[in-house]
Each structure stands twice: as C-alpha cells, then as structure tokens.
A and B are shown apart, each in its own frame.
Chain A
Amino acid sequence: MNNSQDPVSCFHCGLPVPPELDISVNYHGEKKPMCCYGCQAVSQAIIDSGMDDFYRYRTSTPEKPGELVPEFLQQLKAYDSPDVQKKFVAATDSENIYEVSLILEGITCAACVWLNEKHLNALDGIIDASINYSTHRARVRWDNSKIRLSDILESVSRIGYLAHPYDPEQHQLILEKERKAQIRRIGLSGLLGMQLMIFAVAMYTGDWWGMEEGFRQAFRWISLAITIPILLFASSVFFKSAWRDISNRRVGMDVPVSLGIGIAFVASVMHTIKGSGEVYYDSVAMFTFFLLSARYFEITTRKQTSEATEALLNLTPAVATRLIDYENRRSSTVEDQENISVSELSVGDYLLVRPGEVIPADGVIVSGSSGINESLITGESLPVTRSVDDAVIGGSTNTENPLIIRVTKLGEDSVLSSIQRLIDEAQHTKPAITRLADRIAGWFVSILLSIAAVVAWYWYSPDSDLWLEITIATLVVSCPCALSLATPTAITAASGQLAKIGLLPKSPHALETLAHATDFVFDKTGTLTEGRIELQGIHLNPAVQKTLDDRQALLIAASLEASSEHPIARALLESCRQPLLKVEGLAHITGRGISGRIEGETWFIGNRAFIEENCRQPLFDARFDSSEGDDSNGKIYLASSEQCIAVFLLSDHVREEAPRLISELKHLHKTCHLMTGDREENARQISRQLGIDHTLADLHPEDKLKAVKALQNAGAIVVMTGDGVNDAPVLAGADLSIAMGKGTQLAAAAADMILISNNIEHIYHGLKIASKTLGIIRQNLSWALLYNITAIPAAAAGYVEPWMAALGMSASSLVVVINAMRLNRIRY
C-alpha cells in the first residue's frame, strides 16, 4: 500500500501523510501518524471510546472520513422533523420508541461493522442496533426522549462513516419477499427430495436384488404423497411462468422445464395407479431443487445490484426550507423558516436555498444571485451564473450564495419529469433482446414434440399400451435438466467475477448483450473525466517571485475561497492542505470573483474581467494569456490591488484509466463514440487526447437518444456509459447501458449495469468476462443438446433403463455446472 517515495502512511485510512504535516494519535502508547485532521478526530474518537480493537481486527483500511462541516450537521437536523421522518421511521408499540433503517457508507470490512454496531449500542437512548454485514444496512431502535435521530446520524459520522435513513423501495421489498419465498421453495424441495431419494434408491436396488411387490407399491404411493407438495409449492413457479410465456405466444426456457417435470410426474402417477412400471418422483424433486438453486443466485445478484443502486440516493434529505409569508414581508428571519418535505411543496411557495444545497423544485429566483451547477441536466462541468428572474431547474446545485426562489413547476410539469418521460419512451422502443437459451428453448420444444409424435406414430397399435410407455419414456429422458441449467450456472459464476470488479448486472440479458456489442458510446463529464475540477498548475508572476512562492499564493487563494461551494474553490482548497488564513471583509461577486483582506492587504480572486476592474496592473505575462495549458477548463487569477500575482490552471481530469480502456476497445475492433452536452471544443479536446474517432457535442438528452437510435438502425449494438440525468434517456434506449456508481440515481435506474467501482477500465474486463461467459453458455448448451440428441433416440428405441436415465441426467447437469465453474479462473 505504501509507495516508495513516501513510506509514511496514515494509521487510520492508509493514505500517504503529507510531509509537512505532523499530527498523530496515541494507540497503546505508540504515536501513530495521521494524514489529516479528519482522520485524527475519527481515530481519537474510536480509541477514546475503548473500541481500539477495531485496528486489531480490520482487514482493510476504511475510507478517508469527510470533514464534519456545520452545514452537514445542519442538514442532519432536518431528519428530526416529524414530516421528514414520516417516510423512513416506524413507530413501535411503546411510546417514544422508534425504529429506522439506515444505509451505512464507508464499510470496508467486518471490523467496520463491529465498530459501528458497538458504537451505536453504546449510545444512551439506543435500544437496539444491528447491522447486516452483507447489505451494510442497520436497523436501529431508539428512545426518542433520550436521543434524537440526528444525534444518532451525527455520532456515526464522528467515527468516520456516513449513515442516512432510507425508505426501502417498492421493488426491493418485492425482491426480498421473492428471495425468502425462493429459500422456502429450495428448502422444501431439498428436504422432501432427500426423502424421495431414500425410496428411489431402495427401488433401484430392488430391481437388482428383488423386492417384495407390497413394499414397492407402498413406496410408490408414499413417494407420490411427498411429491405433491413439491409440485404445488415449489415447481409451480415454472408452470406459472411457462403459462405466462405461452399466453404471450413465446417459448422461454420454462416451457420445456414444465413439460419435463409435468410428463415425468404424470407418467409416475400412471405407473403408481397401475402398480407396475417405473416412477420418476425423485427426478422431479431433484430437478426442481437444482433449478431453483440456480435461480436463487440470479435473484441474489439482482438484489445486490438494487441495494447498491439505493445507496446512491442523494444524501441530502428530500426537504426544502419554506419561507412563511415571504410575499408580504419580503424579508426572512430564522423564525419564518420551516423544513417541509419536498412532496408537500406547492406552486408559488418561496424557498430558501443555501449554498451547497440541491434546488428542490423548478422555480424562478426572486432574490440573490449565485452560480448554479446544472451538470446534472446539461453535462456542462462549470456552474452557470443565475440571478433575479432567471429560471432554475430542480435537481441542480446552488454553489455560491443563498437564494430565494419561487416554485413555478412541480411534479408532472418539471424538467426532471419530462426527462423521466423520455426515459420511459426510450425503454419502450428499446430493441427486443432474446437470450440465447430462450431462443434454443423454442426450437427444442418443437423438435421434442415432433419426435414424440413420430415415436407415438411408429409404435402405435390399438391392442397394447406399449406405444404410450415408449413415448413417455422418450419425453422423460429428454428432460431439459442440463439445458435449463446451462445459462443460470454460467451467469452465476460470472456474477461473482463481475462483483469483484464492481460491475453489477441489473438486467438478465446484460452479459450476453455486452459480449455482442459493436459500438461503445461514452458521456464526457463524470464518465471519461472525473467530473471534478482539479488544480493543474500555478503560474506565478515573475515580479513577485522574490516575496511569494506557489504555496503561499495558493494559501491566499484558498483562504479567500474558503466559504465558496464553487467547484473551482473546492479544487483550490483541496490542493492547499495548510491551515487557512483569516480573511476580513469578504465579498462575493457572483460569476466574477471574490475579494477580501488578509493581514491588512486587499486581495482579489476571480476571472479576467474581475481582475482588470480591480487591479491597477492587470498586465499579464504573455505566457498567462497564451493558450498554454489548453486542456484546462478554466483559469482563475489572483491579484492584489497593485498587480496580478498568479494564475491557477484548472481542469476536469480525464480518468487515469480512460486511455487504456479506449485503446483496449479499439484493439478489439469496437467503435468508440463520445456524446456530450458540453461545448464542442471541450469534447474535441478529450477525443483527441483519448483517440476517440466519433465525437458529438452540444447535445440535449433527446439528441443523444436520436444519435444512438441512428447507430442502432445502422445495425450496431450500442453500449452506452453515462452518469448524469441528461444521460438517463439514452441509457434507457441503448442496447446495453452502464451507469457510473458515483452518478445520479436516475441514470442508475435506467441502466442495465452499474459500475460501482467507478473504474471505467473495468468495462473492458467486464467485456472479457462477458465473452467468456457467452462461450461457456454456448458450450453448455451444445453439451446439453448433444446429451439429449443421443439419449432421445436410445429411449425411443426402448434401450434406456430408468437408472441409466437418472444417472445420465445428473451427470449431464454436473458437467454443465463444472464447466461454468471455469469462469472463476479468469485473470486479467
């Protein structure tokens, strides 16, 4: 973990410690180095509360904790309002005792779970807190007279994690119910199947060594009695879904499965009543058990994905600050503010939006002006300036000054809803994708039925039942056991691999489509780039080099920008990493810059025009004005009233792994496209840097969708990767879509796969896994078909003994499972 130049790494989070920083905590009498004050506070809190065992047990380092800024704590307070709690919190039978589900972020190993659980349970007023290790969800019951929800959330932040209440989404509750039902079905068919197996083995051995006919008949009847609950309770899922397929005039894999189970059961019942012949009850049970187990893993994968998506929920509560009676008074004091849930807003309400907050609804600014980050909608990475009478879009972020807005549109009419409609439309027109196994299932069923018809016709004679016996034997032998396991086993094995690289499939067809893809379309901001402005370089005016150095210039700049939420300010602050200076008389001029006094001297930081206005010698070295550092998204100037001091170059970094991804994809002869809502020159610049051949810029969400549709009409299979709300419609319309884990929830909801790791090179690894999986599925299907092709004629000719059929069926399934296991050995 340590790199060679900087051997000191933080005791808490493992990141390198900046050389000039000397802070530490005392752990068992030893001074352990810390990389920042955040880590120090968290580590101290953990050690002080006697939970330092965390450092002994942990197997990976936790994430670097965020700083506890007052705004964050203020936002947590909103969770105490009963209106907001209505959505998340459940009352219990006793008074003042409430229960809430929390999503915990930052959990990296089992020790984190232990730490959080112990920490929560040690708080006064917590009745019970338990954390689910696999889902990172906590269930907390607390006594509201002793502790408040915001205190609970805050105390989790104190030890370096982030907790926020959540309201399990409807489809997630359904998935959970489905998962439990599936466990019950598997348990039932497994337990009863074992019982059936006992009788079956007795009867098979009875065939060789002889068996009293009385016992045999008793075994047949009791096996029938045991099989009926399996059929009614467990196998019924196959029948239901087969019926659904047939009534939709489709043939899915469940049709041959139901046919196999049904015929084996009916034949067995006939033989039981007749009192002679073979029974296949054990096969029915085992087949059901295997298939249900394979599908269980598919459900777990889907559930895992939906949980991961849910964790992406916007952290800010769905709360707005409404100003009561603002219209008449035209002023706002703390007393007229109320926190209300966004769903209770109405058109005409006046809202206060503080810097850093998400604008809760579409509206018009009535007071104040600020930079608004609309990257969510437009993909443009820098905030745009909006002032009185300008419209703002719900979902964008206020970055600089407090604003008062009047709500103009809600619900159906809002910009976000119109994008949602675009998504729905796109999803409807999405090309239909049939999975390989389902295509095979179709003709498997038709061939099987025709063979059965031929067999019946060939053996038919009105005098004996032999033709019926042989026809049924043919159908039983052709049980599509291996065939129906071919795909789920491979997908399950692949899902494990995908989870390792953090690429979670949401749709069942995701892997197969990824393997077939021809064109890869990428969004720019937040997908190919980090989506975050960073300081790239500092150019100091040579005239001041004697008195100032880069670090001091940066320190002055960062101190001025300290209170701003503007991405540029954040970038400067992040690179500064020194204790800031005290600034007096701070003034924000929206869209231009900031001025303030430090130790008696007035400083200006802002764009070119702002400096020219305030500075006597805004003369720059030609170097500063030249297009050097062309890949920057912006320049910002620092000046005193006398002269310009320094220029800071800023840019949205291209992700480190992006060039590798593009070259690897091109190597596989895939076509790469860039589609962005950002300006043409920014887009071109990125394309040049990465070697992307096709670039489209200045696109609205609907233009992106059109462009992808055009590709699809030309026969391409398009994989779209994006992160923003503006990408959501095209994500819904592409053949396969991948949403970035750090992206917006709407994008994740519209996508087929979620890239939780945010490492886009993993798309290439995912592609490799997908092609390998498709290969395995093909092998499995061919093997299963080969087995059936050889077994059916043998059965049709009357050569197959029942025990051979049972053995063949199990062996062929086993081959399929073992073949799928090979997927676990992929290396990159």
Chain B
Amino acid sequence: MDIIYLLLPVALIIVVIIIGIFFWAVKSDQFDDLEGPAHRILMDDDDKPEAKKTGDE
C-alpha cells in the first residue's frame, strides 16, 4: 500500500495542471458568453456556401 505515498503527489500535480487550464480558460474569455455557442453550433452555415459570396458585395 506504500504506493499511496507516490500517488498523493501525483494527484496533487494533476490538480494543479487542471486548475492551470481552468485559469487559462477564464483568462481567454471562454466564460464570457455561456449561451451563444449553444445556439451558434445549430446555425452553422456550411449548408449554404453561396451565402458568403453574395454577402460580400
């Protein structure tokens, strides 16, 4: 069971990494708009390729 003494610091390191990722996500504004992406994914425009062309004028 001595393996626990090794696993404890490993767990700690993983937690630190996860917190680091979380802080990075907050910093890069990923928590600013929590509703938009849910809608945006449904309104993708790849089914309408000609839209962009006419819209450019």
Which of these, A118, A188, A215, contacts B19 with CB under 8 Å?
A188
| Residue A124 is within 8 A (CB to CB) of chain B in the complex | yes
Q: A183-B26, A184-B26, A187-B26 are in contact. Are A215 and B43 (CB under 8 A)?
A: no
A226 to B23, CA, bound (A): 17
**CB of A50 within 8 Å of the partner chain:** yes
A131 within 8 A of B: yes
Chain B residues lying within 8 Å of A118, measured Cβ to Cβ, are 45, 51, 55
CB pair A218–B8 under 8 Å, yes or no, is yes
Complex CA distance for A53 and B33, rounded to whole angstroms = 23
Indicate if the CB atoms of A133 and B33 lie closer than 8 Å: yes
Q: Is A192 part of the contact surface with B, judged by Cβ < 8 Å?
A: yes
Q: What's the least CB distance linking B45 to chain A, in Å?
A: 7
A2 within 8 Å of B (CB atoms) = no
Residues of B within 8 Å of A225, CB to CB, are 12
Chain B residues whose CB sits within 8 angstroms of the CB of A192 once the complex forms: 15, 19
A195 within 8 A of B: yes
The interface residues of chain A, by DSSP majority, are classed as helix
Quick one: which of A119, A134, A187, A198 contacts B34, CB cutoff 8 A?
A134
Please indicate the chain B residues that have their CB under 8 angstroms from the CB of A195 in the complex.
11-12, 15
A90 close to chain B: CB less than 8 A: no
Residue A68, interface by CB 8 Å: no
**A135 to B18, alpha carbons, bound, how many Å?**
29
Say yes or no for A248: interface residue by CB 8 A criterion: no
- A48 is an interface residue with CB less than 8 A from chain B: yes
A122 at the binding interface (Cβ < 8 Å):
yes
Instruction: Write out, one digit per residue, whether chain A residues 170-209 have a CB within 8 A of any chain B CB (1) or not (0).
Output: 0000000000100110011001100100100000000000
Q: Is the pair A50, B54 in contact by a Cβ cutoff of 8 Å?
A: yes
Task: Give CA–CA (A384, B4) in the complex, Å.
Answer: 84
Minimum Cβ distance to chain B for residue A60 (Å): 13
Residues of chain B within 8 A (CB-CB) of A51 are 51, 55
**Contact at A191–B4, with CB atoms within 8 Å?**
no
CB distance from B15 to the nearest CB of A (A): 5
Q: Are B19 and A191 in contact (CB under 8 A)?
A: yes
Q: A50-B51, A118-B55 are in contact. Are A134 and B36 (CB under 8 A)?
A: yes
A110 at the interface (CB under 8 A from B): yes
Q: Is B43's CB under 8 angstroms from A111's CB?
A: yes
Whether A132 sits at the interface, judged by CB under 8 Å, is yes
Are B54 and A222 in contact, with the CB atoms below 8 A? no
Bound Cα distance from A544 to B56, whole angstroms: 56
Q: Which of A99-149 contact B (CB under 8 A)?
A: 110-111, 113-114, 118-119, 122, 124, 131-135
Q: Is A212 an interface residue (CB 8 A)?
A: yes
Do B52 and A180 touch across chains, with their CB atoms under 8 A apart? no
Decide if A713 is an interface residue (CB 8 Å cutoff).
no
Which of B5, B26, B27 has the most A CB atoms < 10 Å from its CB?
Answer: B26
Cα distance A225–B8 in the bound complex, in angstroms: 12
Cα distance, A408 to B1, chains bound together (Å) = 86
CA distance A114 to B55 in the complex (A): 14
Interface positions, chain B 1-57, Cβ under 8 Å from A, are 1, 4-5, 8, 11-12, 15, 18-19, 22-23, 26-27, 31-36, 39-40, 42-43, 45, 48, 50-57
Q: How far is the CB of A471 from chain B (nearest CB, A)?
A: 32
B31–A180 contact, CB under 8 A?
A: yes
Partner of B39, one of A133, A188, A212: A133
Contact with A133, one of B5, B19, B35 (Cβ below 8 angstroms)? B35
A134-B35 contact given A50-B54, A226-B12, CB 8 Å threshold = yes
Contact, CB under 8 Å: B19 / A114: no
A187 touches B1 (CB 8 A): no
Contact A215 B45 (CB under 8 A): no
Q: Please measure, in the bound complex, the distance between the C-alpha atom of A135 and the C-alpha atom of B35, giving whole angstroms.
A: 10
Per-position 1/0 for A20-51, Cβ under 8 A of B: 00000000000000000000000000001111
Q: How far is the CA of A110 from the CA of B34 in the complex (A)?
A: 13
Of the candidates A50, A57, A184, the one having the most CB atoms from chain B within 10 angstroms of its own CB is A50
Q: Considering only CB atoms, which chain B residue lies closest to A124 in the complex?
A: B56
Decide if A122 touches B56 in the complex (CB within 8 Å): yes
| Chain B contacts for A191, CB-based, 8 A | 15, 18-19, 22
A195-B27 Cα distance, complex, nearest whole Å: 23
Alpha-carbon separation in the docked complex, A667 to B45 (Å): 54
Question: Cβ of A119 and Cβ of B55 under 8 Å apart?
Answer: yes
User: Which residues from chain B contact A57 at a C-beta distance below 8 Å?
Assistant: 42-43
* Residue pair A110, B1 in contact (C-beta under 8 Å): no
A478-530: which residues lie under 8 A (CB-CB) from chain B?
A: none
Contact assessment for B43 and A122 in the assembled complex, using a CB-CB cutoff below 8 Å: no
Least CB distance from B27 to A in Å reads 8
CB-CB under 8 A from B8, the residues of chain A are: 218, 222
The answer to whether A180 touches B26, judged by C-beta atoms less than 8 angstroms apart, is yes
Report the Cα distance A135→B52, complex, angstroms: 26
How far, in whole Å, are A212 and B19 apart by their CA atoms in the complex?
A: 31
Of all chain B residues, the one with the shortest Cβ separation from A194 is B15
Question: Within the complex, what minimum Cβ distance (angstroms) separates A593 from chain B?
Answer: 47
Closest to B33 in A: A132
- The residue that B36 contacts in the complex, of A49, A50, A133, A198, with Cβ under 8 A, is A133
Kindly state the separation between the CA atoms of A131 and B55 in the bound complex, as whole angstroms.
Answer: 18
Q: Which residues of B contact A53 (CB under 8 A)?
A: 43, 45, 48, 51
For A133, the chain B residues whose CB sits under 8 A away are: 33, 35-36, 39-40
- Chain B residue numbers with a CB within 8 Å of A114 are 39-40, 43
* B43 cross-chain contacts in A, Cβ below 8 A: 53, 57, 110-111, 114
Task: List chain B residues, Cβ under 8 A from A183.
Answer: 26, 31
Min distance, Cβ B30 to any Cβ of chain A, angstroms? 10
In the assembled complex, the CB of B53 is this many whole angstroms from the nearest CB of chain A, namely 8
Q: Are B23 and A184 in contact (CB under 8 A)?
A: yes
Contact B32 A132 (CB under 8 A): yes
CA distance A713 to B26 in the complex (A): 49
Q: Which residues of A contact B45 (CB under 8 A)?
A: 53, 118
Residues of chain A with a CB closer than 8 A to B26's CB: 180, 183-184, 187
A220 to chain B, nearest CB (A): 12
Contact residues in B for A111 (Cβ distance below 8 Å): 43
CB distance from A765 to the nearest CB of B (A): 24
Give the docked Cα–Cα distance between A198 and B14 (Å): 14
In the bound complex, what is the Cα–Cα distance between A293 and B17 (angstroms)?
22
Known: A53-B43, A187-B22. A131 touches B36 (CB 8 A): yes
**How many Å lie between the Cα of A48 and that of B1 in the bound state?**
72
B55–A49 CB distance below 8 A: yes
Whether B54 pairs with A49 at a CB distance below 8 angstroms is yes
Contacts of B52 in A (CB 8 A): 50, 122
Question: How many angstroms between the C-alpha atoms of A215 and B8 in the bound complex?
Answer: 11
Chain B residue at smallest Cβ distance from A134: B35
A507 to B2 alpha-carbon distance, docked (Å): 56
Q: Write out the residue numbers on chain A whose beta carbons fall within 8 Å of the beta carbon of B11.
A: 195, 198
A153 → chain B closest CB, angstroms: 18
Q: Which has the most chain B C-beta neighbours within 10 Å: A51, A57, A198, A212?
A: A51
Measured in the bound complex, the distance between the Cα atoms of B26 and A501 in whole Å is: 31
23 A-B interface contacts by CB (under 8 A): A49-B55, A50-B48, A50-B51, A50-B53, A51-B51, A53-B51, A57-B42, A110-B40, A110-B42, A113-B40, A114-B39, A118-B51, A119-B55, A124-B56, A132-B33, A133-B35, A183-B31, A187-B26, A191-B18, A195-B12, A198-B11, A215-B1, A226-B15
Q: Which 6 A-B pairs have the closest CB atoms?
A: A133-B36, A122-B55, A110-B39, A50-B51, A50-B54, A132-B33
18 more contacts with CB within 8 A, not counting A110-B36, A191-B15, A222-B8, are A48-B54, A50-B54, A53-B45, A57-B43, A113-B40, A114-B43, A122-B52, A122-B56, A132-B36, A133-B36, A187-B23, A191-B18, A192-B15, A195-B15, A215-B1, A218-B4, A218-B5, A218-B8
